[in-house]
Structure 1
Amino acid sequence: MTDTRVYPLFVRTAARTGGAATRRHAGLMLAGGALLALLLAGCSGAEEPTPTDSAAATGEASADPTTRAEPSSSPTPTAEATGSPIAQLCGDLLTLQDVYDFNPNYGTAPNYSPTADGLAETATTYNGLTCGWSNQTSGELIEVSVVAPNDVLMTTLKQQADADSQAVPTYGTPPAVDGFFTYAGGVGQAQVFTEQYWVTLSTSAFFEPGDAESLISTVLSHLG
Protein backbone atom coordinates (compact mmCIF):
# COMPACT_ATOMS: atom_id res chain seq x y z
CA MET A 1 0.00 0.00 0.00
CA THR A 2 1.04 3.43 -0.74
CA ASP A 3 1.86 5.69 2.04
CA THR A 4 -0.78 8.30 1.75
CA ARG A 5 1.02 10.70 3.91
CA VAL A 6 4.06 10.76 1.67
CA TYR A 7 2.30 10.78 -1.74
CA PRO A 8 0.46 14.04 -1.37
CA LEU A 9 3.69 15.73 -0.41
CA PHE A 10 5.38 14.24 -3.48
CA VAL A 11 2.56 15.27 -5.63
CA ARG A 12 2.62 18.78 -4.27
CA THR A 13 6.37 18.96 -4.64
CA ALA A 14 6.26 17.67 -8.20
CA ALA A 15 3.50 20.01 -9.01
CA ARG A 16 5.44 22.91 -7.67
CA THR A 17 8.56 21.78 -9.47
CA GLY A 18 6.75 21.27 -12.76
CA GLY A 19 5.05 24.65 -12.48
CA ALA A 20 8.31 26.43 -11.88
CA ALA A 21 9.90 24.72 -14.83
CA THR A 22 6.97 25.58 -16.98
CA ARG A 23 7.16 29.19 -15.96
CA ARG A 24 10.91 29.25 -16.65
CA HIS A 25 10.35 27.70 -20.06
CA ALA A 26 7.64 30.19 -20.84
CA GLY A 27 9.86 33.02 -19.71
CA LEU A 28 12.65 31.87 -21.96
CA MET A 29 10.26 31.67 -24.88
CA LEU A 30 8.98 35.16 -24.21
CA ALA A 31 12.50 36.54 -23.92
CA GLY A 32 13.53 34.83 -27.15
CA GLY A 33 10.46 36.20 -28.93
CA ALA A 34 11.16 39.70 -27.71
CA LEU A 35 14.78 39.50 -28.93
CA LEU A 36 13.66 38.24 -32.33
CA ALA A 37 11.12 41.04 -32.54
CA LEU A 38 13.82 43.60 -31.77
CA LEU A 39 16.11 42.14 -34.43
CA LEU A 40 13.33 42.18 -37.00
CA ALA A 41 12.42 45.74 -36.08
CA GLY A 42 16.02 46.82 -36.47
CA CYS A 43 16.20 45.31 -39.95
CA SER A 44 12.93 46.71 -41.20
CA GLY A 45 13.49 50.21 -39.72
CA ALA A 46 16.81 50.90 -41.52
CA GLU A 47 16.62 54.04 -43.78
CA GLU A 48 17.44 53.90 -47.52
CA PRO A 49 20.81 55.63 -48.38
CA THR A 50 20.44 59.06 -49.93
CA PRO A 51 22.76 60.49 -52.62
CA THR A 52 25.39 62.90 -51.42
CA ASP A 53 25.72 66.46 -52.69
CA SER A 54 28.80 65.46 -54.66
CA ALA A 55 26.82 62.77 -56.47
CA ALA A 56 24.06 65.25 -57.32
CA ALA A 57 26.62 67.77 -58.53
CA THR A 58 28.26 65.11 -60.68
CA GLY A 59 24.91 64.22 -62.19
CA GLU A 60 24.17 67.86 -63.02
CA ALA A 61 27.60 68.36 -64.56
CA SER A 62 27.28 65.29 -66.74
CA ALA A 63 23.91 66.46 -68.08
CA ASP A 64 25.61 69.31 -70.00
CA PRO A 65 29.31 68.44 -70.32
CA THR A 66 30.12 71.20 -72.82
CA THR A 67 29.39 74.92 -73.02
CA ARG A 68 28.44 76.25 -76.46
CA ALA A 69 30.38 79.40 -77.33
CA GLU A 70 28.44 82.35 -78.71
CA PRO A 71 29.47 83.27 -82.28
CA SER A 72 31.40 86.52 -82.51
CA SER A 73 29.82 89.33 -84.49
CA SER A 74 31.38 90.11 -87.87
CA PRO A 75 32.93 93.53 -88.35
CA THR A 76 30.94 95.96 -90.44
CA PRO A 77 32.56 96.29 -93.87
CA THR A 78 33.91 99.71 -94.81
CA ALA A 79 32.03 101.40 -97.65
CA GLU A 80 33.97 101.66 -100.92
CA ALA A 81 34.68 105.03 -102.49
CA THR A 82 32.84 105.04 -105.79
CA GLY A 83 30.54 107.05 -108.02
CA SER A 84 27.25 106.44 -109.80
CA PRO A 85 27.05 106.52 -113.62
CA ILE A 86 26.24 109.91 -115.10
CA ALA A 87 23.05 110.12 -117.16
CA GLN A 88 24.00 113.32 -119.02
CA LEU A 89 26.04 113.55 -122.22
CA CYS A 90 28.77 116.05 -123.07
CA GLY A 91 26.32 118.13 -125.09
CA ASP A 92 24.13 118.39 -121.98
CA LEU A 93 26.93 119.92 -119.92
CA LEU A 94 27.97 122.53 -122.47
CA THR A 95 26.11 123.11 -125.71
CA LEU A 96 27.87 124.40 -128.81
CA GLN A 97 26.28 127.74 -128.14
CA ASP A 98 27.61 127.77 -124.57
CA VAL A 99 31.12 127.10 -125.84
CA TYR A 100 30.81 129.72 -128.58
CA ASP A 101 29.63 132.28 -126.04
CA PHE A 102 32.72 131.55 -123.95
CA ASN A 103 35.06 131.87 -126.95
CA PRO A 104 34.06 131.68 -130.65
CA ASN A 105 37.28 129.82 -131.48
CA TYR A 106 36.31 126.78 -129.36
CA GLY A 107 34.50 123.77 -130.73
CA THR A 108 34.24 120.04 -130.21
CA ALA A 109 37.32 117.79 -129.94
CA PRO A 110 36.35 114.57 -131.76
CA ASN A 111 39.44 112.57 -130.78
CA TYR A 112 39.47 113.70 -127.16
CA SER A 113 40.82 111.47 -124.38
CA PRO A 114 41.53 112.55 -120.77
CA THR A 115 45.00 113.92 -120.10
CA ALA A 116 47.18 111.51 -118.13
CA ASP A 117 47.26 112.20 -114.39
CA GLY A 118 44.70 114.97 -114.73
CA LEU A 119 41.40 115.49 -112.88
CA ALA A 120 39.42 114.19 -115.86
CA GLU A 121 41.36 110.93 -115.84
CA THR A 122 40.64 110.56 -112.13
CA ALA A 123 36.95 111.03 -112.91
CA THR A 124 36.95 108.05 -115.28
CA THR A 125 37.91 105.71 -112.40
CA TYR A 126 34.67 106.61 -110.60
CA ASN A 127 32.13 106.23 -113.44
CA GLY A 128 32.57 109.88 -114.33
CA LEU A 129 31.73 111.66 -117.59
CA THR A 130 34.65 113.42 -119.34
CA CYS A 131 34.37 115.83 -122.26
CA GLY A 132 36.78 117.95 -124.30
CA TRP A 133 36.55 121.14 -126.35
CA SER A 134 39.48 122.53 -128.28
CA ASN A 135 40.50 125.94 -129.58
CA GLN A 136 40.31 125.61 -133.33
CA THR A 137 43.21 128.06 -133.73
CA SER A 138 45.67 127.30 -130.92
CA GLY A 139 44.65 123.74 -130.11
CA GLU A 140 44.21 124.54 -126.45
CA LEU A 141 41.98 121.94 -124.78
CA ILE A 142 39.31 122.51 -122.17
CA GLU A 143 38.50 119.34 -120.24
CA VAL A 144 35.27 119.03 -118.28
CA SER A 145 34.41 116.09 -116.00
CA VAL A 146 31.47 115.24 -113.77
CA VAL A 147 31.31 112.54 -111.06
CA ALA A 148 28.37 111.56 -108.84
CA PRO A 149 30.33 110.37 -105.78
CA ASN A 150 29.02 108.49 -102.75
CA ASP A 151 29.64 109.97 -99.29
CA VAL A 152 33.01 108.26 -98.85
CA LEU A 153 34.36 109.49 -102.18
CA MET A 154 32.87 112.97 -101.73
CA THR A 155 34.67 113.37 -98.40
CA THR A 156 37.97 112.15 -99.86
CA LEU A 157 37.79 114.43 -102.90
CA LYS A 158 36.91 117.48 -100.82
CA GLN A 159 39.78 116.89 -98.43
CA GLN A 160 42.19 116.52 -101.37
CA ALA A 161 40.94 119.69 -103.04
CA ASP A 162 41.20 121.63 -99.81
CA ALA A 163 44.78 120.45 -99.35
CA ASP A 164 45.93 121.14 -102.94
CA SER A 165 43.88 124.22 -103.95
CA GLN A 166 42.58 127.53 -102.69
CA ALA A 167 38.91 128.02 -101.85
CA VAL A 168 36.91 130.15 -104.30
CA PRO A 169 33.63 131.49 -102.85
CA THR A 170 32.58 133.10 -106.16
CA TYR A 171 31.87 129.68 -107.71
CA GLY A 172 28.86 129.28 -105.40
CA THR A 173 27.64 129.61 -101.85
CA PRO A 174 28.96 127.01 -99.37
CA PRO A 175 27.90 124.47 -98.27
CA ALA A 176 25.58 124.06 -101.29
CA VAL A 177 28.54 124.76 -103.56
CA ASP A 178 32.21 124.55 -102.55
CA GLY A 179 34.70 125.89 -105.12
CA PHE A 180 38.48 125.49 -105.44
CA PHE A 181 41.14 126.60 -107.93
CA THR A 182 44.81 125.93 -108.49
CA TYR A 183 47.32 126.74 -111.23
CA ALA A 184 50.28 124.41 -111.59
CA GLY A 185 52.44 123.13 -114.44
CA GLY A 186 50.92 125.61 -116.88
CA VAL A 187 47.37 124.30 -116.30
CA GLY A 188 44.55 125.92 -114.38
CA GLN A 189 42.20 123.53 -112.52
CA ALA A 190 38.80 124.52 -111.16
CA GLN A 191 36.79 122.15 -108.91
CA VAL A 192 33.25 122.50 -107.64
CA PHE A 193 31.39 120.28 -105.17
CA THR A 194 27.60 120.28 -104.94
CA GLU A 195 25.39 117.99 -102.90
CA GLN A 196 25.43 115.46 -105.76
CA TYR A 197 28.37 116.17 -108.05
CA TRP A 198 32.09 116.78 -108.33
CA VAL A 199 32.73 119.00 -111.36
CA THR A 200 36.17 119.85 -112.75
CA LEU A 201 37.43 122.09 -115.55
CA SER A 202 41.07 122.01 -116.63
CA THR A 203 42.86 124.00 -119.35
CA SER A 204 45.99 125.99 -120.02
CA ALA A 205 43.65 128.91 -120.81
CA PHE A 206 42.79 129.33 -117.09
CA PHE A 207 45.28 131.46 -115.17
CA GLU A 208 43.14 132.53 -112.26
CA PRO A 209 39.80 131.53 -110.64
CA GLY A 210 37.75 134.13 -112.55
CA ASP A 211 38.73 132.62 -115.94
CA ALA A 212 36.62 129.51 -115.25
CA GLU A 213 33.70 131.18 -113.51
CA SER A 214 31.32 131.56 -116.49
CA LEU A 215 31.78 127.97 -117.69
CA ILE A 216 31.33 126.58 -114.18
CA SER A 217 28.10 128.52 -113.78
CA THR A 218 26.81 127.16 -117.11
CA VAL A 219 27.67 123.51 -116.29
CA LEU A 220 26.02 123.74 -112.86
CA SER A 221 22.87 125.21 -114.38
CA HIS A 222 22.57 122.23 -116.74
CA LEU A 223 23.14 119.72 -113.96
CA GLY A 224 20.37 121.32 -111.92
Structure 2
Amino acid sequence: MPLASTAAGRARLRPVLTVGSLALLAVIGLSGCAAEASPSPDPSTSASAEPTAAPSTEPTAEPTETAEPGTPIALSCEELLTPQDVYDFNPNVSTDPGFAPAEGSLAAAAVADNGIACGYLHQTSGELMTFAVSQPSPEQLTLALNAAATASQPVPTYGAPPAVTGFFRVVGGAGEVQVFTPTFWLTASSTMFFEPGDADTLVRAALSHLPQ
Protein backbone atom coordinates (compact mmCIF):
# COMPACT_ATOMS: atom_id res chain seq x y z
CA MET A 1 0.00 0.00 0.00
CA PRO A 2 1.37 3.49 -0.73
CA LEU A 3 2.65 5.31 2.32
CA ALA A 4 0.58 8.39 1.64
CA SER A 5 -2.64 6.40 1.75
CA THR A 6 -1.74 4.88 5.09
CA ALA A 7 -1.00 8.23 6.65
CA ALA A 8 -4.22 9.66 5.39
CA GLY A 9 -6.20 6.73 6.84
CA ARG A 10 -4.69 7.24 10.26
CA ALA A 11 -5.51 10.86 10.11
CA ARG A 12 -9.18 10.02 9.43
CA LEU A 13 -9.31 7.45 12.26
CA ARG A 14 -7.97 9.79 14.97
CA PRO A 15 -11.08 11.97 15.28
CA VAL A 16 -13.33 8.91 15.35
CA LEU A 17 -11.40 7.36 18.21
CA THR A 18 -11.60 10.60 20.11
CA VAL A 19 -15.37 10.84 19.80
CA GLY A 20 -15.82 7.18 20.78
CA SER A 21 -13.65 7.66 23.83
CA LEU A 22 -15.72 10.64 24.91
CA ALA A 23 -18.93 8.69 24.49
CA LEU A 24 -17.61 5.81 26.56
CA LEU A 25 -16.53 8.15 29.33
CA ALA A 26 -19.98 9.71 29.37
CA VAL A 27 -21.65 6.33 29.73
CA ILE A 28 -19.33 5.37 32.57
CA GLY A 29 -20.02 8.71 34.26
CA LEU A 30 -23.78 8.29 34.04
CA SER A 31 -23.54 4.73 35.31
CA GLY A 32 -21.65 5.91 38.34
CA CYS A 33 -24.32 8.48 39.23
CA ALA A 34 -27.16 5.95 38.97
CA ALA A 35 -25.39 3.44 41.16
CA GLU A 36 -25.09 5.84 44.06
CA ALA A 37 -27.87 4.89 46.54
CA SER A 38 -29.48 7.53 48.65
CA PRO A 39 -28.56 7.15 52.33
CA SER A 40 -30.93 4.75 54.11
CA PRO A 41 -32.54 5.95 57.31
CA ASP A 42 -30.82 5.00 60.47
CA PRO A 43 -32.91 2.23 62.05
CA SER A 44 -32.14 3.66 65.46
CA THR A 45 -33.82 6.96 64.54
CA SER A 46 -36.85 5.55 62.68
CA ALA A 47 -40.19 6.36 64.32
CA SER A 48 -41.88 3.49 66.09
CA ALA A 49 -45.11 3.35 68.15
CA GLU A 50 -44.44 3.18 71.84
CA PRO A 51 -46.42 0.36 73.56
CA THR A 52 -49.25 1.65 75.76
CA ALA A 53 -48.63 0.87 79.37
CA ALA A 54 -51.31 -1.44 80.80
CA PRO A 55 -52.99 -0.30 84.01
CA SER A 56 -51.38 -1.87 87.02
CA THR A 57 -54.65 -2.49 88.82
CA GLU A 58 -58.28 -2.94 87.80
CA PRO A 59 -60.73 -0.29 89.07
CA THR A 60 -62.89 -1.60 91.88
CA ALA A 61 -66.35 -0.50 92.93
CA GLU A 62 -66.73 1.38 96.15
CA PRO A 63 -68.17 -0.83 98.91
CA THR A 64 -71.81 -0.18 99.62
CA GLU A 65 -72.81 0.81 103.10
CA THR A 66 -74.59 -1.97 104.96
CA ALA A 67 -77.95 -1.02 106.45
CA GLU A 68 -78.05 -0.97 110.24
CA PRO A 69 -80.00 -4.01 111.48
CA GLY A 70 -83.26 -3.57 113.32
CA THR A 71 -83.85 -4.15 117.00
CA PRO A 72 -85.02 -7.72 117.71
CA ILE A 73 -88.74 -8.08 118.43
CA ALA A 74 -89.48 -9.81 121.74
CA LEU A 75 -93.15 -10.51 120.97
CA SER A 76 -94.50 -13.90 119.90
CA CYS A 77 -97.22 -14.32 117.29
CA GLU A 78 -99.78 -15.10 120.02
CA GLU A 79 -98.82 -11.83 121.71
CA LEU A 80 -99.00 -9.77 118.53
CA LEU A 81 -102.49 -11.11 117.79
CA THR A 82 -104.08 -13.20 120.52
CA PRO A 83 -106.30 -16.17 119.60
CA GLN A 84 -109.25 -14.05 120.74
CA ASP A 85 -108.24 -11.23 118.38
CA VAL A 86 -108.17 -13.66 115.46
CA TYR A 87 -111.45 -15.29 116.48
CA ASP A 88 -113.15 -11.91 116.73
CA PHE A 89 -112.01 -11.20 113.17
CA ASN A 90 -113.34 -14.50 111.81
CA PRO A 91 -114.09 -17.74 113.75
CA ASN A 92 -112.92 -19.79 110.75
CA VAL A 93 -109.41 -18.28 110.84
CA SER A 94 -106.68 -19.82 113.01
CA THR A 95 -102.91 -20.09 113.20
CA ASP A 96 -101.19 -21.70 110.20
CA PRO A 97 -98.67 -24.17 111.70
CA GLY A 98 -96.75 -24.55 108.42
CA PHE A 99 -96.46 -20.85 107.65
CA ALA A 100 -93.28 -19.51 106.07
CA PRO A 101 -93.06 -15.98 104.66
CA ALA A 102 -92.83 -15.82 100.88
CA GLU A 103 -89.54 -14.64 99.43
CA GLY A 104 -89.63 -10.92 98.67
CA SER A 105 -92.72 -10.30 100.78
CA LEU A 106 -93.10 -7.68 103.52
CA ALA A 107 -93.27 -10.51 106.05
CA ALA A 108 -89.91 -11.85 104.83
CA ALA A 109 -88.42 -8.35 105.07
CA ALA A 110 -89.56 -8.12 108.69
CA VAL A 111 -87.95 -11.46 109.58
CA ALA A 112 -84.72 -10.43 107.83
CA ASP A 113 -84.64 -7.30 110.01
CA ASN A 114 -84.97 -9.17 113.34
CA GLY A 115 -88.77 -8.97 113.31
CA ILE A 116 -91.47 -11.64 113.41
CA ALA A 117 -93.99 -12.87 110.83
CA CYS A 118 -97.18 -14.79 111.63
CA GLY A 119 -99.48 -16.75 109.35
CA TYR A 120 -103.19 -17.47 109.72
CA LEU A 121 -105.32 -19.75 107.58
CA HIS A 122 -109.02 -19.65 106.75
CA GLN A 123 -110.11 -23.22 107.44
CA THR A 124 -112.86 -23.18 104.82
CA SER A 125 -111.47 -21.21 101.89
CA GLY A 126 -107.78 -21.89 102.51
CA GLU A 127 -106.98 -18.19 102.24
CA LEU A 128 -103.82 -17.06 103.99
CA MET A 129 -103.41 -13.97 106.17
CA THR A 130 -100.02 -12.70 107.31
CA PHE A 131 -99.06 -10.19 109.98
CA ALA A 132 -95.51 -9.04 110.61
CA VAL A 133 -93.78 -6.45 112.74
CA SER A 134 -90.22 -5.15 112.93
CA GLN A 135 -88.32 -2.34 114.60
CA PRO A 136 -86.00 -0.97 111.90
CA SER A 137 -83.32 1.63 112.40
CA PRO A 138 -84.67 5.20 112.15
CA GLU A 139 -83.16 5.59 108.68
CA GLN A 140 -84.68 2.33 107.37
CA LEU A 141 -88.02 3.12 108.98
CA THR A 142 -88.12 6.47 107.16
CA LEU A 143 -87.22 4.81 103.85
CA ALA A 144 -89.99 2.24 104.27
CA LEU A 145 -92.55 4.90 105.20
CA ASN A 146 -91.64 7.03 102.17
CA ALA A 147 -91.91 3.99 99.87
CA ALA A 148 -95.34 3.11 101.28
CA ALA A 149 -96.53 6.69 100.87
CA THR A 150 -95.47 6.62 97.21
CA ALA A 151 -97.08 3.28 96.33
CA SER A 152 -100.17 3.13 98.58
CA GLN A 153 -103.16 5.13 99.70
CA PRO A 154 -103.21 6.66 103.20
CA VAL A 155 -105.67 5.19 105.71
CA PRO A 156 -106.60 7.58 108.54
CA THR A 157 -108.79 4.99 110.32
CA TYR A 158 -105.75 2.99 111.48
CA GLY A 159 -104.61 5.93 113.62
CA ALA A 160 -103.61 9.57 113.54
CA PRO A 161 -100.13 10.65 112.36
CA PRO A 162 -97.49 10.97 113.61
CA ALA A 163 -98.35 8.39 116.27
CA VAL A 164 -99.77 6.04 113.61
CA THR A 165 -99.47 6.41 109.84
CA GLY A 166 -101.33 3.80 107.81
CA PHE A 167 -101.44 2.82 104.13
CA PHE A 168 -103.35 0.29 102.01
CA ARG A 169 -103.21 -1.05 98.49
CA VAL A 170 -104.19 -4.18 96.54
CA VAL A 171 -101.36 -6.22 95.02
CA GLY A 172 -102.09 -9.35 92.99
CA GLY A 173 -105.59 -9.63 94.39
CA ALA A 174 -104.46 -9.35 98.02
CA GLY A 175 -104.93 -6.33 100.26
CA GLU A 176 -101.63 -5.03 101.66
CA VAL A 177 -101.51 -3.02 104.89
CA GLN A 178 -98.54 -1.00 106.13
CA VAL A 179 -98.68 0.89 109.41
CA PHE A 180 -95.89 2.96 110.94
CA THR A 181 -95.35 4.24 114.44
CA PRO A 182 -92.29 6.28 115.47
CA THR A 183 -90.66 2.94 116.36
CA PHE A 184 -92.37 0.00 114.60
CA TRP A 185 -93.33 -1.13 111.11
CA LEU A 186 -96.45 -3.32 111.06
CA THR A 187 -97.54 -5.06 107.85
CA ALA A 188 -100.38 -7.40 106.87
CA SER A 189 -101.54 -9.08 103.68
CA SER A 190 -104.48 -11.28 102.67
CA THR A 191 -106.99 -11.88 99.90
CA MET A 192 -109.54 -11.46 102.71
CA PHE A 193 -108.69 -7.74 102.78
CA PHE A 194 -110.70 -6.20 99.97
CA GLU A 195 -110.50 -2.68 101.40
CA PRO A 196 -108.73 -0.93 104.31
CA GLY A 197 -111.62 -1.42 106.74
CA ASP A 198 -111.43 -5.24 106.42
CA ALA A 199 -108.20 -5.27 108.41
CA ASP A 200 -109.12 -2.46 110.80
CA THR A 201 -109.90 -4.51 113.94
CA LEU A 202 -106.78 -6.67 113.57
CA VAL A 203 -104.51 -3.69 112.92
CA ARG A 204 -105.77 -1.90 116.00
CA ALA A 205 -105.37 -5.03 118.11
CA ALA A 206 -101.78 -5.57 116.93
CA LEU A 207 -100.88 -1.92 117.57
CA SER A 208 -102.23 -2.13 121.10
CA HIS A 209 -99.89 -5.07 121.86
CA LEU A 210 -96.69 -3.37 120.71
CA PRO A 211 -94.29 -2.23 123.43
CA GLN A 212 -94.78 1.39 124.39
TM-score normalised by L of structure 1: 0.63
- Computed over aligned residues only, the root mean square deviation of the Cα atoms, in angstroms, reads 1.5
Structure 2 residue matching 1:144: 3-state secondary structure = strand
Q: 2:161 aligns to what?
A: 174
Query: Is 1:107 matched with 2:94?
Result: yes
Whole-angstrom CA distance in 2 between matches of 1:128 and 1:222? 15
Q: 1:190 aligns to what?
A: 177
Q: Match of 1:96, as an amino acid?
A: P
Whole-angstrom CA distance in 2 between matches of 1:151 and 1:78? 16
Structure 1 residues 99 and 184: CA distance shift in structure 2, 3 A: same
Alignment of 1:66-215 (within 5 A): 80-215=67-202
Structure 1 residue matching 2:135: 3-state secondary structure = strand
Superposition deviation, residue 163 in structure 1 = 1.1
TM-score normalised by L of structure 2: 0.67
| Cα pair 1:79 1:152 within 8 Å, conserved | no
Superposition deviation, residue 78 in structure 1 = 6.5
Structure 2 residue matching 1:111: 3-state secondary structure = coil
Structure 2 residue matching 1:88: 3-state secondary structure = coil
Whole-angstrom CA distance in 2 between matches of 1:84 and 1:124? 11
Aligned residues: 148
Structure 2 residue matching 1:157: 3-state secondary structure = helix
Q: Match of 2:173, as an amino acid?
A: G
Q: Match of 2:134, as an amino acid?
A: V
Q: Match of 1:167, as an amino acid?
A: P
Whole-angstrom CA distance in 2 between matches of 1:83 and 1:110? 26
Whole-angstrom CA distance in 2 between matches of 1:194 and 1:148? 10
Gaps of at least 5 residues in structure 1 are 1-76
Superposition deviation, residue 199 in structure 1 = 0.1
Deviations 1:147-186 (A, max 9, x none): 0011111111011101110111111010111000000211
Whole-angstrom CA distance in 2 between matches of 1:203 and 1:104? 16
Q: Match of 1:181, as an amino acid?
A: F
Identity %: 49
Superposition deviation, residue 79 in structure 1 = 7.7
Deviations 1:56-95 (A, max 9, x none): xxxxxxxxxxxxxxxxxxxxx9683431100000000111
Structure 1 residues 79 and 115: CA distance shift in structure 2, 3 A: closer
Q: Would you tell me which structure has more helix in proportion to its own residues?
A: 1
Which has more radius of gyration? 1
Q: Once superposed, which parts of structure 1, at least 4 consecutive aligned residues long, lie more than 4 Å away? A: none
| Cα pair 1:181 1:189 within 8 Å, conserved | yes
Q: 2:205 aligns to what?
A: 218
Structure 1 residue matching 2:166: 3-state secondary structure = strand
